[in-house]
Amino acid sequence: MKKKPLITLSEKVQKGLNECDILVPIITPNSIGNQWVNQEIGYAIGKGKEIIPIIATDCFNQLKGFINSQVDCPFQYKSNEIESKETQSFKVICEELVNFIIPSLQQNLTSSIDKTEVNQGELYTTHVHFQGKLHHGFFDNYIEHIGSDFYRWNPDYGTFPKSGTNITPGSLQGEINIKTSYSHSTKDWPKGIYKIYVRVYDHQVPGETTRLLVTENLHELRVE
């Protein structure tokens, strides 16, 4: 942030969050409970900013809120090491993050769903067009029911194996320019309005829990 007289630090932080494309919070034993760090993350999420945290390994199981141990957090550095080893681990993770972010700024996802309202049990279809570079990417819909805790992950089995787990890579590799569609049933879904997050995930290292959300679009679907 540029120096500017008579401007408070909170105003500078707010301006920076408004203008940034990606927020990279660094979660350490000292910052995990800091109210300012948590407020900045919440503010950025409210503004629709992409969040990619760097996390100390000894903090991971303590994570709560928007960044928690149930979401993919691939950029972790080894803490509780001697200082030189911890510094080197942090440096390596920063380099990996930069190598991920630079191509991600050139990635583009357009998407739509074929219906805005379906009867319970009917299919809805997602149409996607993605351009960008991926290591082992795939498409996925995260489904969130407004008004209850019901949710689903609905992957595109054309780019992600049906038998996949959180360590399984997707099939999209290299420079990608792909248009595709995939369908899912609303069987057993509670009636109501749903947020449909159409997502592109990338898997940095097959066989490890290094899945990372690349980009997403939001749609709404009503189930009657």
Give the residue from 36, 70, 104 where a domain finishes: 104
pTM: 0.58
* Secondary structure tally for the chain: helices H, strands E: 3, 12
pLDDT, tens digit (0-9, with 9 covering 90-100), for 72-103: 788 888 887 677 788 888 888 888 888 777 66
In this prediction, residues 27-49 reach a mean pLDDT of 87
Residue, of 167 and 219, whose pLDDT is higher? 219
138 with 177, same domain: the answer is yes
Residue 16 lies in a domain: yes
Residue 149 lies in a domain: yes
CATH of the domain at 168: 2.60.40.770
What radius of gyration do the chain's Cα atoms show?
Answer: 19
pLDDT at 99: 75
pLDDT at 119: 97
pLDDT, tens digit (0-9, with 9 covering 90-100), for 159-204: 999 988 888 999 999 889 999 999 999 999 999 999 999 999 998 7
pLDDT, tens digit (0-9, with 9 covering 90-100), for 122-147: 999 999 999 988 889 999 999 999 99
Strand pairing partners for 51?
Answer: 23
30 with 97, same domain: the answer is yes
66 with 120, same domain: the answer is no
What is the rounded distance in angstroms from the CA atom of residue 216 to the CA atom of residue 180?
A: 15
* Cβ(85)–Cβ(78) below 8 Å: yes
pLDDT at 2: 54
Average pLDDT, the chain: 88
Residue 1 lies in a domain: no
199 with 130, same domain: the answer is yes
Asked if residue 4 has pLDDT above 70, the reply is no
Give the residue from 104, 129, 146 where a domain finishes: 104
127 lies in which domain range? Answer: 108-223
Give the residue from 104, 137, 162 where a domain finishes: 104
115 with 215, same domain: the answer is yes
Asked if residue 1 has pLDDT above 70, the reply is no
